[in-house]
Amino acid sequence: MTRLRTRTNTCTKLDIRTVAERADVSIATVSRTINSIPTVSPLLAERVWKAIRELDYYPNSQARSLVSGRSRIFGLIVPEITNPFFPELVQGFEDIAVENGYEMLVSSTNNDPGRMSVCIRRMLERRVEGVAVMTFGVEEPLLQQLSERKIPLVLTEFLLDTPHVSTLLLDYKMGFRLGVEHLVKLGHRHIAFISGPLALHSARTRREAFLASLKEFQLPIRESWMVEGDHTLEAGVRGFQALADQGEIPTAILCSNDMTAIGVLKAAYHAHVRVPDDLSVIGLDDIRFSEYTLPPLTTIRLSGVEIAQAAFHALQAQAESEKGKDGVRKYPISTSLVVRESTAPARTINIFPFPR
């Protein structure tokens, strides 16, 4: 028989055995109850739940994963956390992960590829069941470490040619097509582009998608209007100046992310170039802030939350797939155009100097 104890007994340790004793059942029965294994009679289950509530017991997840061989943790590697796009993505991932009984282990490389190895070591030590790598980057050799261990992996649009790797196909083509089309309809023919760092695979992909759209609409391509940035706000400021310094600037600037576009807005303001009257600006991402810039930013929407959810589903599909098939898939992520107030009909081509 179980002796009654006070509810707040802080002295004894609180493990599954304690619960079993209090409910007067075996340890196995408690475990089965917790895991909703149906071979427990309702009578005992009720006793167990009562004991759990009274003791305020929480199973030790470390012991659980040790024995079950499943950590129920997914890793998420992001390049930085300063760019608001990524917090949105992280939050989206946390939400869906927790909802589905998984834990999330975030790690940021802080835009330093050298830190990727630290991130991966953390993932391996915690025995994550999958990793979503959102750095849009170039660290194939390191990722091999994961895929060699058959750890499910999700990458964005970069095709690592190994098993256990799912891919998110971000539809930049469509996005830039919509953006350029929008500008063309407004009468723009001279469009500049501020890219991300071209060392990044995704930055090159975006640039190519932009160029493809220019070709599609038979717009002129001028090398000097293709400026390389680094996805920061400062890159937008510098990019605008680089364009302005050429003495003649296009009537529209398309940026490969919103932070850059916001930098362009700021630089344009200081140069007394009016947006959208003198210059149309389009970003990419649709971060929250874009709605609140002056003027509100027209942008190509790429939903961080949608990416996060797709990444989670990809990992879950792989982690929980049957032995036979590996659950690897490609997940298309669509883009769309959000028209706000940073774009307007083109004037004639802007001839510098604007007042600086």
Partner DNA sequence: CTGAGTAGAGAAAAGCTTTTCTCGAGGCCG
Partner DNA sequence: CGGCCTCGAGAAAAGCTTTTCTCTACTCAG
Q: What residue ranges bind DNA (CB under 7 A)?
A: 13, 15-17, 25-32, 34-35, 38-41, 43-44, 59-60, 63-64, 66-69
Q: Does 84 bind a copy of itself (CB under 8 A)?
A: yes
Q: Which is nearer to DNA, 8 or 41 (CB)?
A: 41
Q: Tokens 């009562």 label which residue?
A: 50
Is 38 or 141 the residue whose CB approaches DNA more closely? 38
Do 93 and 308 form a contact (C-beta atoms < 8 A)? yes
Q: How far apart are alpha carbons 4 and 93 in whole angstroms?
A: 43
Rule CB under 8 A: say whether 35 interacts with a copy of itself: no
With CB under 5 to 8 Å by kind, the binding choice for 124 among DNA, a copy of itself, none is a copy of itself
User: What's the min distance (Å) between Cβ of 289 and a copy of itself?
Assistant: 7
Taking the C-alpha atoms of residue 210 and residue 245, their distance in angstroms, rounded to an integer, is: 23
Q: Which of 191, 355, 188 is nearest to 273 (CA)?
A: 355
Distance CA 234, CA 34 (A): 52
Which letter does DSSP use for residue 198 in this model?
Answer: T
Separation of first and last alpha carbons in the chain: 87
Cβ–Cβ < 8 Å for 208, 177? no
Question: Which residues within the stretch 145-174 sit at the binding site for a copy of itself (CB under 8 A)?
Answer: 145, 148, 150
Q: Of 30 and 307, which has the nearer Cβ to DNA?
A: 30
Residue with tokens 């149906």: 38
Cβ at position 42, least distance to DNA in Å: 8
The least CB distance from residue 45 to DNA, in Å, is 7
Question: To the nearest whole angstrom, how small is the minimum distance from the Cβ of residue 318 to DNA?
Answer: 18
Report if residue 263 touches a copy of itself, rule: CB under 8 A: yes
Residue 188, sorted as left (phi over 0), alpha (psi -120 to 50) or beta, turns out to be beta
Number of residues that bind a copy of itself (CB under 8 A): 49
The option from a copy of itself, DNA, none interacting with 98 (CB < 5 to 8 A, set by class) reads: a copy of itself
CB 79 within 8 A of CB 135: yes
Q: For residue 340, state whether it binds a copy of itself (rule: CB under 8 A).
A: no
* Contact by Cβ (8 Å): 270, 298: no
Question: Is-contact 279 268, C-beta < 8 A?
Answer: yes
State in angstroms the smallest separation of the CB of 18 from DNA: 8
Chain residues in the site for a copy of itself (CB under 8 A): 8, 10, 56, 58-63, 65-66, 71, 81-82, 84, 86-88, 90-91, 94-95, 98, 103-108, 110, 118, 121-122, 124-127, 145, 148, 150, 233, 262-263, 266, 269, 288-289, 292, 294
